[in-house]
């Protein structure tokens, strides 16, 4: 059990550029979640996958955001045409179905200049 | 919809003193309750959780929490804190039997002073 990993850990980009983050969940965890955490706030739910199916999306997830989980393993979160307001920590978590505990990765810190 | 309130944004305390971090929640359905800890520039680590059963739950690092349904609270306590407990603590809820997405409070910074 190597834990949830995220890549990259830090990303600096210019406004208007596209960025993509990757999350590798704990092996055999079929549930995967993305959260966003801004400075001084708690994490906010963005989206949820069960296996490869995206079953829920927050209204926070504008049409510039897209997430995928091909083959039900790793997941990617893409932000198109980044804005300064997208600067945040993006956290990924995974869990087993019917298990309530989510295990979090170290996060990807995004800074949009 | 669920919501979580952590009224104390920062709690300063001296080393070896007891501490209580407050958490209140709002929900019209059954919920699961969690406390997570976040150290600087790291992800979140689960301290403890309440799913059902005994209302007093014990977690890692000597922390415990008590679920109080009538007061819709889930306060976190530790009888004697250490410098290494300095971190951000988040209370969270999820709707029982649903997607288990977590709704977090705004966090409480526990600042342990020597």
Does A79 have pLDDT greater than 60? yes
Q: Phi and psi for B66 in degrees, rounded to 5?
A: -125, 125
DSSP state of B9: S
Range A66-72 average pLDDT? 92
Residue A24: the pLDDT is 97
Parallel, antiparallel, or unpaired for β A75-79 and A19-24? antiparallel
Query: Is the separation of the CB atoms in A11 and A82 below 8 Å?
Result: no
Q: How many Å apart are CA B6 and CA B91, to the nearest integer?
A: 7
The percentage of chain A sitting over the pLDDT mark of 90, rounded to a whole number, equals: 84
Min CA distance, A83 vs chain B (Å)? Answer: 22
One DSSP character per residue, B22-63 reads: --EEE-SS-EEEEEEEE-TTS-EEEEEEE-SS-SEEE-GGG-
The percentage of chain A sitting over the pLDDT mark of 70, rounded to a whole number, equals: 99
Question: Do A40 and B104 count as a contact with CB atoms less than 8 A apart?
Answer: no
Average pLDDT of every residue of chain B: 93
In terms of CA atoms, which chain B residue is nearest residue A55?
B99
* Token pair 């019917």 in the structure block, residue: A98
In terms of CA atoms, which chain A residue is nearest residue B48?
A101
Q: How many Å apart are CA B3 and CA A61, to the nearest integer?
A: 19
Residue ranges of the alpha helices (H) in A1-113?
none
Q: Is B35 on the interface with A (CB under 8 A)?
A: no
Range B36-62 average pLDDT? 92
* Facing residue for B102 by CB, picked from A102, A106, A109: A102
Min CA distance, B17 vs chain A (Å)? Answer: 25
The percentage of chain B sitting over the pLDDT mark of 70, rounded to a whole number, equals: 100
Where residue A67 falls (left for φ over 0; alpha for ψ -120 to 50; beta otherwise) is beta
Which of A34, A100, A110 would you mutate first to test chain B, the one with the most B CBs within 10 A?
A100
pLDDT confidence tier of residue A110, bands split at 50, 70 and 90: very high
Residue B40: the pLDDT is 84
Query: Is the separation of the CB atoms in B81 and B63 below 8 Å?
Result: no
Pairs across A and B, CB distance < 8 A: 56
Does A1 have pLDDT greater than 60? no
Q: Collect all residues of chain A within an 8 Å Cβ-Cβ radius of residue B40.
A: none
Q: How many Å apart are CA A21 and CA A82, to the nearest integer?
A: 13
Higher pLDDT, residue B28 or A110: A110
């Amino acid at each position: 059990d190597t834990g949830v990993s995220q890549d990259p850990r830090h990303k600096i980009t210019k406004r208007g550029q596209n960025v993509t983050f990757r999350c590798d969940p704990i092996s055999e965890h079929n549930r995967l979640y993305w959260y966003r955490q801004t400075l001084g706030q708690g994490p906010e739910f963005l989206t949820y996958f069960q296996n490869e199916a995206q079953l829920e999306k927050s209204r926070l997830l504008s049409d510039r955001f897209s997430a995928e989980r091909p083959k039900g393993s790793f997941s990617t979160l893409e932000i198109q045409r980044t804005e300064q307001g997208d600067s945040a920590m993006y956290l990924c978590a995974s869990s087993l179905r019917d298990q309530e505990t989510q295990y979090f990765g170290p996060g990807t810190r995004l800074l949009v200049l | 919809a669920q919501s979580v309130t952590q009224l104390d944004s920062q709690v300063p305390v001296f080393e070896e003193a007891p501490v209580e971090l407050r958490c209140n929640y709002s929900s019209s359905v059954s919920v699961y309750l969690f406390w997570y800890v976040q150290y600087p520039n790291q992800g979140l680590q689960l301290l403890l959780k309440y799913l059902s059963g005994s209302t007093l739950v014990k977690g890692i690092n000597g922390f415990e929490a008590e679920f109080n349904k009538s007061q819709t609270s889930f306060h976190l306590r530790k009888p004697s804190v250490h410098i290494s407990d300095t971190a951000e603590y988040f209370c969270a809820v999820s709707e029982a039997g649903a997607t288990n997405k977590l709704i977090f409070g705004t966090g409480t910074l526990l600042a342990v002073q020597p």
